[in-house]
Amino acid sequence: MKPDLIREFKNKVSRKKIKIAVVGLGYVGLPLAVAFAKKGFFVLGIDLDKDRLERLKSRKSYISDVTSRDLSRVIDSGRFKAEGNFAILKDIDAVLICVPTPLKRKYHPDISFIKSAVRGIAANIKPGALVILESTTYPGTTEEIILPLLEAKGHKHGKDFYLCFSPERIDPGNIKYPLAKIPKVIGGITKEAASLAFEVYSSIIKKVVLVSSSRVAETVKLLENTFRIVNIGLIDEMAMMAHKMDIDIWEVIEAAKTKPFGFMPFYPGPGVGGHCICKDPLYLYWKARHYGFRSRFIKLASDVVSFMPEYVVERLEKALKERGKSLKKSRILIIGVTYKKDIKDLRKSPPLDIIDILQKRGIKVSYSDPLIPYLKLSGINLKSEDLNARSLSCFDCVVITTDHSCIDYRFLIKGSRLIFDTRNVLKGIANKKIIRL
């Protein structure tokens, strides 16, 4: 792209005249699309999920960070519409890719959704368009996979399109840090590509950070989540060790965090869920092995965190045995099945693993979660239990796995025989019927 065309592109951004497409309208893509539309840009959403498209046509949001009211406003204004066809990209100036990047097996990345999206883009791309990948992936994906796929159709980078990587950093349900307040990292195949992406994102995000390459930007996201899983794995292991030593790990953490430097508190729990922390570090682990490097920290942390649902069941069995009860003959109630408090999100949720483990062992297990009225797990249909004195009296142990704010925990304590609190939500309450992780 010639300097005058670059200036023209930036000028169109400043006048909100560029058209933006967001491929993948999930937890990352839909909030991003609505954010651009609310700022006055025309946004085209592309998703192959027919159920999502039907919900969008009905103005019903399925994402916690996007209200149905905001969704209705941008649709009714004509600034946002969703389709399931890549052919409508022919008039789009900037394409943002926000598709899933799961694991094929525990240590093997699956970037098939990225490849499929890029092929659809390559067949319909507008000359001079900007393409930005937001999906978390291993270092080198943008340059080694996406660039060749786009150029395979005869397009040339720097002439027919520009390519960047900008890792998504959305934290579902985080009111303190909504999309606009989370700094955006951008790494381009070239500086010109990065400068174009800078202009686009600066229109909706307060701080945009440029790095030297797409590989650096890809690694930034992986470092962020590797940092988290390593520290979560460490504190989970510390919790297991402290229990053996009859030490209250929660008290240890509270005291340790009084140090004003050199310490950052992390907290143990029943496992790690969501779309990032349990998966992203393994992308880096897999890629590093191609360079002959084995990351022991990542694998160990991942293994420790993955073990936590099983550990919760072990602790549950021990607690019941100490009170003369057999886990096999007990009825268990799980409180909270989402992976995170106060959001309706079941992706990789540890409570689901705990329920699955109990079900496979033939144990009678139920759940209560005001955000998830129905649940189907391993072919078994479950309905959320109402929390009342009669229902609570039926269970031998209540396990708090997600600390939703809307739960009446004092009522829970009053009506339950035994409570296993894996989230320390009952902090400071002295009661013999309460045990903590």
Rounded distance between C-alpha atoms, residue 345 and residue 64, angstroms: 9
**Residue 364, SS3 per DSSP:** strand
H or E stretch at 328? none
DSSP 262: S
Contacts 24+ apart (CB under 8 A), 425-428: 425/400, 426/400, 427/250
Task: Give the Cα separation of 356 and 352 in Å (integer).
Answer: 6
Specify whether the CB–CB gap between 149 and 122 falls below 8 A: yes
Hey, what are 319's tokens? 């607690």
Catalytic residue among 98, 276, 278, 397: 276
Sequence-distant (6+) residues with CB within 8 A of 17 are none
Q: How many CB atoms lie within 10 A of CB 67?
A: 12
276 tagged catalytic: yes
Paired tokens of 184: 């955006």
Evaluate whether 86 touches 124 at the Cβ level (below 8 Å): yes
Q: Nearest 5°: phi and psi at 75?
A: -70, -45
Torsion angle of the four alpha carbons 21, 24, 25, 26, in this order, in degrees rounded to the nearest 10: -150
Residues tagged active-site: 276
